[in-house]
């Protein structure tokens, strides 16, 4: 947003149409809408069916992106940091839809990034944690120095390998914090995608077994 070369005019988020929550993160739609309201950038939502296969996901996303391209959008920005295969997948898919892919924090040091995130005043809560890497106590925790100190050595501090997902509720680009309260803590398992499939935006799984996640539900705080 601070780069004069770009004008950020639209946000895009995928929603699980069955549960009305952000895919993989599990955040309720109403919290997403409040977050976007506080940031002040228009939102486009792509609704997905429950656990779509890669062909279905690509078809729906391509249709959405092609429509945005016809409306005049030309670049798509991603927060990927070091997953080469995912970066290549995004670039190929976006190019086919008429977009140029931009990766503003590519190859940045993830420890430095998360420390800058905290120092700049952004605030986030862990909404899902991969059970293979993190126990249930991490779901619902705030990202702070104590959280970083408690992370296992094999977990990326930015969750770049899909170890955890977050909901950012405050920061310098927010007009006001998004009010929320923590709800139920649940455990769910999902069929791991094949080695060349990923719709979660973070990880490419190769293990055919199911993936387990701890979810902390967030509720609107009135």
Q: Dump pLDDT digits (tens) for 50-81.
A: 889 999 999 999 999 999 999 999 999 999 99
Mean pLDDT of 80-88: 96
Computed on alpha carbons and rounded to an integer, the radius of gyration of the chain in Å comes to 17
Q: Is residue 105 part of a domain?
A: yes
Q: Is residue 4 part of a domain?
A: no
Dihedral angle of Cα 8, 165, 212, 199, to the nearest 10 degrees = 10
Number of domains in the chain: 1
The closest alpha carbon to 1, from 124, 122, 121, 104, belongs to: 104
pLDDT: which is higher, 208 or 98 = 98
pLDDT of residue 193: 62
Q: Is residue 128 part of a domain?
A: yes
Mean pLDDT of 108-121: 98
Burial of 219 from C-beta contacts in 10 A (0-12 / 13-18 / 19+): middle
Task: List the domain range (segments joined by +) for residue 123.
Answer: 11-220
Burial of 114 from C-beta contacts in 10 A (0-12 / 13-18 / 19+): buried
The pTM of this model reads 0.90
| pLDDT of 196 higher than 80 | no
Cβ contacts of 99 within 8 Å, gap of 6 or more: 65, 69, 73, 74, 75, 76
Q: Is residue 73 part of a domain?
A: yes
Spatial separation of the C-alpha atoms in residues 158 and 164, rounded to whole Å: 8
Q: Is residue 110 part of a domain?
A: yes
Spatial separation of the C-alpha atoms in residues 134 and 213, rounded to whole Å: 9
Q: Is residue 5 part of a domain?
A: no
Q: Is residue 2 part of a domain?
A: no
């Amino acid at each position: 947003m601070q780069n004069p070369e770009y004008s950020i005019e639209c946000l895009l988020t995928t929603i699980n149409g069955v549960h009305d929550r952000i895919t993989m993160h599990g955040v309720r739609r109403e919290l997403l809408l409040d977050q976007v309201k506080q940031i002040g950038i228009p939102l486009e939502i792509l609704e997905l069916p429950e656990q779509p296969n890669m062909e279905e996901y690509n078809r729906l996303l391509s249709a959405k992106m092609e429509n945005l391209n016809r409306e005049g959008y030309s670049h798509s920005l991603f927060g990927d940091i070091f997953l080469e295969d995912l970066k290549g997948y995004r670039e190929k898919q976006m190019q086919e839809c008429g977009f140029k892919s931009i990766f503003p924090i590519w190859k940045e040091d993830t420890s430095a990034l998360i420390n800058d995130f905290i120092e700049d005043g952004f605030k986030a809560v862990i909404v899902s944690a991969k059970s293979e890497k993190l126990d249930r106590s991490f779901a619902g925790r705030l990202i702070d120095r104590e959280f970083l100190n408690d992370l296992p050595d094999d977990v990326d501090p930015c969750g770049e390998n899909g170890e955890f997902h977050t909901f950012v509720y405050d920061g310098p680009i927010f007009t006001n914090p998004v009010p929320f309260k923590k709800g139920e803590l649940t455990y769910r398992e999902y069929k791991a995608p094949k080695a060349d499939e990923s719709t979660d935006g973070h990880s490419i799984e190769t293990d055919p077994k199911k993936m387990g996640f701890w979810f902390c539900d967030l509720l609107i705080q009135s």
